[in-house]
Amino acid sequence: MSLLRFLALCVILVAAPLRADELLMVRTDQPFPEAMARLQEVVAAHGYKVTRVQRVDVGLTSSGYATAEYRVVFFARPEELRRLPDRRPELLAYLPLKIVIFAEGESTLALTNSPALLSEFFDDAALRVQFQRWERDVRSILDQFAAH
């Protein structure tokens, strides 16, 4: 299994039951440290707060994968984290939003699932608006990340 397929599988499992063909992925020629900083800047510029950066490379390296640069960046708007789970606790499985970032050769990739797909699981017009906004924001974040 290639590293890219493994990473895509991890994202799918985290966001199950979303489909793999709905992954959003971009590549930048920036080295991983600069790309990581850029991703966090772009997330903040969109009004979100990075809530946690989780290292995954330790487990990958111990499993035989040759990467030392792999993280999951969790982010959200604090008011949404407080408000949405009170109204719809089942959203906790999907919050905060997350983007996987990893080095591949001389470039860095960022990927996530499509937030708009959450509309398939919630029959709520207000939530659909929320999911569409997240979709626009995530796509904009990835576009700006890749454009640098």
Of the pLDDT bands very low, low, confident and very high (cuts 50, 70, 90), residue 11 is: low
Residue 83 in tokens? 């408000």
Inside any domain, residue 60: yes
- The model's pLDDT over 109-147, given as tens digits with 9 standing for 90+, comes to 999 999 999 988 888 898 999 999 999 999 999 999 999
pTM: 0.81
Number of domains forming the structure of the chain: 1
What integer is the mean pLDDT of 18-28?
77
Inside any domain, residue 123: no
**The pLDDT of residue 13 is above 60:** no
**The pLDDT of residue 21 is above 50:** yes
pLDDT of residue 141: 97
CA distances from 30 to 4, 27, 69, 105, 145 (A): 18, 9, 13, 11, 10
Inside any domain, residue 30: yes
Inside any domain, residue 124: no
Domain extent for 28 = 22-113+142-146
Inside any domain, residue 34: yes
- The model's pLDDT over 52-109, given as tens digits with 9 standing for 90+, comes to 999 887 777 777 777 668 999 999 999 998 898 888 888 888 899 999 999 988 899 9
Contact 110/142 with Cβ under 8 angstroms? yes
Question: CATH number of the domain that 99 lies in?
Answer: 3.30.310.70
CA distances from 6 to 60, 96, 123 (A): 10, 22, 32
**The pLDDT of residue 8 is above 70:** no
